[in-house]
Structure 1
């Protein structure tokens, strides 16, 4: 897999990326996590790094990773941590990935927010949980919004709702990629445009102090 990176997250202590579209054989689909691990060299990481995952049931639950021995949260759509050298990972194919970084307190979050999660205000909950668990001041947070499906390919402009939620919480540094997954099928997977017969992009984020 190849990776896309975001200038707003270009910090020496961060590793991040969004995987791009890769060739798929629908008759012989590859197992996704081994494919992710085998591609981590593209973001400067070893394949043996611990990877934390969320079950992503399109809800509002945000889990806090406190121990590297517990890396899977089946009911969560968001992951937060201040632990170094562990990679947060979620999958998207039209929904938005929200990358959160608190450079003052060295804490991060990775949130899956599509139509349902946005309606449930998962972005708001993530900011509140960052404050509760890591004393993150919303004005210090840097939030990057990944490529996702957008109008007119989707009837709901959930990105504008995400931005409104973040601003209402006091987040000031919001960076939207502005890219539509359904508009660039040569680069991204799109569940809506491909009628469900598609793959997933990986959004990943980790703290790696120098």
Structure 2
């Protein structure tokens, strides 16, 4: 489907998901935050005001016709922790720490924040399960995507070959330069597959997070995968990019839910 423009917001949707799945990756356009977070900043602890973030969040929930009170989000810590929920997170309660969230409840909207890391959307049409994963290099090496599929299988009875997956806008292999720590981690984790994931160019090494997480999905048994192919560092007009903006930036939001 690509970009959708509605009520002043611009968000990205995937073709792979049917109308039964409410989802979107929201660009940075259409919010109230000032520079350097301009304008639809959804991240906390970055210097922007809480009032701006709350208003921006209200706007994205309104545009997909979901109540803010249905939100379930977590404190993202670059881990392999998967959390399952059957209820929203009360807005006045602390966040759990995790980097993958799953639900079967249509009254829950899963929500995460990004600025280069990979958003991965999951949907099991047979058991009505949706999921959202946050995978930076640490989470990717920790196999958070693979572990999310395993939890779908063991807790909800999902058959991996039935699961639909989508990889959202994030830093692409053309921009993600990595150093010795990451290079060694990729080699240890992916073994013979690491050569295809570490791209050598002009004396630098680039890590392909899109293919690395596609590989985890494949290893878990997921064959139906759509990749947006949109690099956040290439397009800071639409996306926040930690690398592309030298750390002075906001966070864009991604959400997924089951239509009730």
Q: How does the TM-score come out when normalised to structure 2? A: 0.75
SS in 2 for 1:191: coil
Alignment of 1:79-90 (within 5 A): 79-90=101-112
When the two chains are superposed, the root-mean-square deviation of aligned CA atoms in Å is: 1.8
Alignment of 1:8-157 (within 5 A): 8-9=16-17, 11-22=18-29, 24-26=33-35, 29-31=48-50, 32-46=53-67, 48-68=68-88, 73-155=95-177, 156-157=207-208
Structure 1 spans left out of the alignment, 5+ residues: none
- How far residue 152 of structure 1 moved from its aligned partner, in angstroms, is 2.4
SS in 2 for 1:124: helix
Q: Which runs of 4+ in 1 moved over 6 A?
A: none
Deviates more, 1:57-66 or 1:72-81: 72-81
Deviates more, 1:113-122 or 1:68-77: 68-77
Equivalents in 1 of 2:13, 2:174: separation in Å? 25
SS in 2 for 1:127: helix
Equivalents in 2 of 1:171, 1:135: separation in Å? 14
Equivalents in 1 of 2:69, 2:142: separation in Å? 32
Deviates more, 1:188-197 or 1:34-43: 34-43
**CA gap 1:89/1:26 in 2 versus in 1, 3 angstroms:** same
- How far residue 33 of structure 1 moved from its aligned partner, in angstroms, is 3.9
Question: Is 2:22 the counterpart of 1:2?
Answer: no
Q: Please identify the structure whose Cα radius of gyration is greater.
A: 2
Equivalents in 2 of 1:21, 1:38: separation in Å? 12
**CA gap 1:138/1:33 in 2 versus in 1, 3 angstroms:** farther
Equivalents in 2 of 1:25, 1:195: separation in Å? 17
Contact 2:100 2:132 in 1 (8 A): yes
Q: Which residue of 1 aligns with 2:213?
A: 162
- How far residue 14 of structure 1 moved from its aligned partner, in angstroms, is 1.5
Q: What is the aligned length?
A: 207
Structure 2 spans left out of the alignment, 5+ residues: 1-8, 37-46, 178-206
Contact 2:69 2:88 in 1 (8 A): no
Q: How does the TM-score come out when normalised to structure 1? A: 0.91
